[in-house]
Structure 1
Amino acid sequence: MNTWTRTGPVVVEVDGSTDGLRIVDYAAREALRAGAELLLVAPYHNYPAYAPMMPLYDPQGAAAGAEEILRQAVEFVRDEYGADLKVSTTAREGSRLRALQTAARDARVLVVAREQDSGPAGIVSAQGNLALAGRASCPVVVVPARGTPAAAGSGVVVGIDGTPLSLEAVEFAFRTAAERGVNLTVVHSHRHPYQRHVAEKGTWQERAGLTVSETLAGWHEEYPQVIVTRLLTTRPVVAALAHESRQAALVVVGAHAGPLPIGDPVTRRTIAELTCPVAVVAHHVTPAERARWRRTLSSTPDVVCTIR
C-alpha cells in the first residue's frame, strides 16, 4: 500500500489561459466525484524591484496577477458547479516545481496541464511533469489541454512491467476504477529489446500471464467489484497504451520517485503522446528493495579482462 493521503484535496495548477480552465474543470469534476475540496494553485515569480532594462517594472504585479488568475478560476468554478464544491486558493512564489510540490503535500491528487501537443517540445514538457510526479507526495494527473472528454462510463487503463515500479500504479488504478464504478484494463507488453532470454521456459503468453498474475495478486480481493481485463501483447508498450486509451477515461503508469526521474522514458513518452489524461504514480524504493538490489550487485561475478 502507498502512504499518500486518501482524504486530502484535489489540487490543480491554474495558469489563467482558456485551455487552463478546462484543466480546472477536470479537477473540479474529480473533486465532486470524490467529495473532496478543490485547491487552486497559481505559482509566480517575484523579481527584484528595479532593473536597468525595466525601470518601471512593479514587482508586486506578479503576485497581483496570480491573485487575479485565481479569482477568475474561482468565478469559473462557481458558474459551473455552484456552491456545492468547496474551493480554496493559494498563490505561491517560486518555481513551478517547488510551488506545486509544496501545495500538494497533503493532496489526494495533483492535476496539471500538458502544455505542448507533440514533437520535441512535447517531450520537454512531459519531462517537466515527470519530474514533478517524481517529487510529489501524491499521484499527478497530466491532462491534455485540447483533449476530447471521455464518454460516460469509460474505463481505467494501467500499464505494468512486472517490477515494483508498477505497485503503486496498480493500487491507484484499482481504487480509481472502484470509485468511478468502471472496468479496469491491465496492459503488459512482453518485450525485451535489449535482452535474450534463452533459458526461459514456456510461451511468451504464459510468462506474461504469470507476470500479470503476480502483480495483481491480492487486489481482486481488495476490490471485488472491479471487472478486470488483462491485455498481453508484444507491441511496444506506448503503442499498446495509446490504442487502449482511445476508449479510456484515464491511463495510469508508474515512475521512479526522486529529483531526477530520467530513467522513465516509457512514462515520459506516454505523457507526451496520449490524448487522454495520464496519472503518474511514483514508486518509492523500500529498504527491502534496496537491500535486494545491493545483494544482486554483490553477487555478480568478477570479470577478468586479459590484454594481449
Structure 2
Amino acid sequence: MKSWVRNGPVVVEVDGTAEGMRVVDYACVEALRSGADLVLAASYRAHSTFSPMRPTELPKPPGDLADAALRVAAAHVRHRYGYGLQLEAVSKDGSRARVLAEIAPHARMLIIGRTPKRGPQRLVAAQTNLNLAARVGCPVLVVPLSWRPSQVDRKVAVGIDGSGQSAEAVEFAFRAAAAREGDLIVVRAGLPPDHAFNDDDVEHSWISRADHTISEAVAAWTSEFPQVRLTRFLSGRPAAEAILHESEDVGLIVVGAHGSVPATDPVARRCVAAMPCPVAIVPHHLTVVERERLLEPRRPDIVTPMY
C-alpha cells in the first residue's frame, strides 16, 4: 500500500482582504489538526502603478503592501490561536502560480480562497485553481470566502470513478475524516449513458459493479482507519451532480484531478466552481506505465498529403 501523504507545512495564500482572513482561519484549523507548521504566503508584482497624471499620489511599493498584509494575518493568527502554532510568513515577487509553487514544493497542502464569481468566470477561475494544483503537486484546498465553521465540518465526501487515478483522493479523504474524527461518504456515480434504470437486471448489475468498485477503492484504508465510519452513496446522476448533492451536508469535498493536466477534468472543474463547501483537489501521480503511455508517439488517424 503506497502512501502519498506529505509531512510538510500547511501553506495558505494571503490576499490582504478581510474575507481572506476566513481562509487563514481555515488553514489554522487544518494546521492544528495535523500538528503541522503554518506558512503565510503572498505574491506581488514589483512594477509600480504610479500614474504621471496624478503625480502627488505616490503608491506604496507592492512588496511593502504584501508584507503589510502578512503582518496583519500573522497578528490575527497570534491573537486567535496563540503561540502554539509554528508560524512563518513569506512574500515573493512574481506571478501567483509561480510564487505559490516555489513556496509550497513540499507542503502538506496549499489552501487558497475562492472569489465569488458568476457565469463563465466561475469556470475560468476553477480552471486556474486546477492548473495551480497541477503545478504545485500537493493537494490544494479551495475555500469559499463565505465559509464559516459548523457541525458538518466533521463529514468528508470523496468521489471515485473506478480507476486507479482516484487512489490519492481516497487516501486524502480517509486521513481528513480521521483528523476530524468524522464520517466519510464515498460517492460512485454515472450510470452508463446507453442504459436506463427501467431494466431491473441492468440496475442490479450496475449497482453490484459500483459497490464492488467502492470496496476495492477503500480496502487499503479501512483497516488503517477503523474509526472512520464509511457510507456508500451510489447514484445514477452524472458525477458532478451527485457530488454537488452531497456537498450541502459535508464540510469537505475531495476530488481527484485526472488526466495529464488536471484542468482537463470537467468533473473536478465543476466541483471547484460550484461547491458551497471547501473542495480539496488531489492530483494524481502518474505511474511509470501511465507516463510511458503518455509519451509514446501517436499515429494520426488522417494523413493529409502535402504537395
Change beyond 3 A, Cα 1:59–1:177 = same
Letter in 1 for 2:264: G
TM-score, normalising length: structure 2: 0.86
Q: Distance in 1 between matches of 2:38 and 2:234?
A: 37
- Residue 232 of structure 1 aligns to a residue whose secondary structure is strand
Change beyond 3 A, Cα 1:168–1:54 = farther
1:241-252 to structure 2, matched below 5 A, reads 241-252=243-254
- Residue 179 of structure 2 aligns to a residue whose secondary structure is helix
Note if contact 2:48-2:61 (Cα within 8 Å) is conserved in structure 1. Answer: no
1:73-152 to structure 2, matched below 5 A, reads 73-151=73-151
Per the alignment, residue 230 of structure 1 pairs with: 232
Name stretches of at least 5 consecutive residues in structure 1 with no aligned partner: 304-308
1:121-155 CA-partner distances (Å, limit 9, x unpaired): 21111111111111113100000001343316631
Letter in 2 for 1:282: P
Letter in 1 for 2:181: G
1:193-245 CA-partner distances (Å, limit 9, x unpaired): 4x679xx9962101211222222232212222211111111012222112211
Q: Distance in 2 between matches of 1:46 and 1:53?
A: 21
Change beyond 3 A, Cα 1:14–1:294 = closer
Q: Distance in 1 between matches of 2:91 and 2:174?
A: 33
Per the alignment, residue 34 of structure 2 pairs with: 34
Deviation at 1:157, TM superposition (A): 0.4
Q: Distance in 1 between matches of 2:85 and 2:130?
A: 29
Change beyond 3 A, Cα 1:57–1:44 = farther
State which of 185, 206, 209 in structure 1 corresponds to 2:208.
206
Change beyond 3 A, Cα 1:54–1:107 = farther
1:155-174 to structure 2, matched below 5 A, reads 155-174=155-174
TM-score, normalising length: structure 1: 0.86
Change beyond 3 A, Cα 1:95–1:35 = same
Q: Distance in 2 between matches of 1:237 and 1:261?
A: 16
- Residue 63 of structure 2 aligns to a residue whose secondary structure is helix
Letter in 2 for 1:149: P
- Residue 158 of structure 2 aligns to a residue whose secondary structure is strand
Per the alignment, residue 182 of structure 2 pairs with: 182
Deviation at 1:256, TM superposition (A): 3.4
**Count of residue pairs brought into register by the alignment:** 294
1:70 maps to 2:70: yes
Deviation at 1:279, TM superposition (A): 0.4
- Residue 61 of structure 2 aligns to a residue whose secondary structure is helix
1:20-69 CA-partner distances (Å, limit 9, x unpaired): 01100110111111111110001001117988778789797010010000
- Residue 218 of structure 1 aligns to a residue whose secondary structure is helix
- Residue 262 of structure 1 aligns to a residue whose secondary structure is helix
CA RMSD across the alignment: 2.8
State which of 255, 258, 262 in structure 2 corresponds to 1:256.
258
Q: Distance in 1 between matches of 2:214 and 2:183?
A: 17
Per the alignment, residue 280 of structure 1 pairs with: 281
Name stretches of at least 5 consecutive residues in structure 2 with no aligned partner: 197-201, 303-307
Letter in 2 for 1:36: A
Between 1:65-74 and 1:115-124, the stretch displaced more is 115-124
1:75-119 CA-partner distances (Å, limit 9, x unpaired): 111111121212110001100001111111121011000112442
Change beyond 3 A, Cα 1:68–1:204 = same
Q: Distance in 2 between matches of 1:118 and 1:155?
A: 27
Report percent identity of matched pairs: 45
Between 1:183-192 and 1:215-224, the stretch displaced more is 215-224
Q: Distance in 2 between matches of 1:49 and 1:222?
A: 54
